[in-house]
Structure 1
Amino acid sequence: MSITPAFSCTLPVRWGDMDAYNHVNNTVYFRFFEEARVQLIEAVAGGQIAGRDDGPVIITANCTFLKLVVYPNDVRVDCYLSDPGRSSFMVRYELFAASDPKDPACTGDSKVVWVDHALGRSVELPSYIREKFS
Structure 2
Amino acid sequence: MTRHIYRCPLRWSDMDAFGHVNNVVFLRYLEEARIDFMFRLRPSDGSPSFSGGSVVARHEIDYVRPLVHRHEPVVIESWVTKIGAAALTIAYEVKDAEGADLVYARASTIVVPYDLEAGRPRRISAEEKSYLQRYLPPVEEDALVG
Q: What is the TM-score with the length of structure 1 in the denominator?
A: 0.84
Residue in structure 2 matched with residue 133 of structure 1 by the alignment: 133
The aligned amino acid for 2:69 is Y
Among 67, 70, 79, the residue aligned to 1:69: 67
**Partners of 2:67 and 2:96 in 1: CA distance:** 7
In the alignment, structure 1 residue 115 sits paired with structure 2 residue 114? yes
Q: Alpha-carbon deviations, 1:60-98, whole Å to 9, x = none?
A: 011100011111141100001121111110000000035
Unpaired runs of at least 5, structure 2: 135-146
Residue in structure 1 matched with residue 104 of structure 2 by the alignment: 105
Q: For the Cα contact (< 8 Å) 1:55–1:115, is it kept in 2?
A: yes
**Partners of 1:62 and 1:82 in 2: CA distance:** 13
**Partners of 2:126 and 2:31 in 1: CA distance:** 22
The aligned amino acid for 1:83 is K
Aligned length: 124
Identity %: 25
Q: What is the TM-score with the length of structure 2 in the denominator?
A: 0.78
Runs of 4+ off more than 2 Å: none
Shift of 1:22: 0.3
Residue in structure 2 matched with residue 14 of structure 1 by the alignment: 11
The aligned amino acid for 1:26 is N
Q: Which has the greater radius of gyration?
A: 2
Greater percentage in strand: 1
Unpaired runs of at least 5, structure 1: none
Residue in structure 2 matched with residue 44 of structure 1 by the alignment: 41
Shift of 1:110: 0.3
**Partners of 2:126 and 2:53 in 1: CA distance:** 13
Q: For the Cα contact (< 8 Å) 1:45–1:128, is it kept in 2?
A: no
In the alignment, structure 1 residue 88 sits paired with structure 2 residue 87? yes
**Partners of 2:31 and 2:53 in 1: CA distance:** 14
Shift of 1:128: 2.8
Cα RMSD between the aligned structures? 1.8
In the alignment, structure 1 residue 32 sits paired with structure 2 residue 36? no
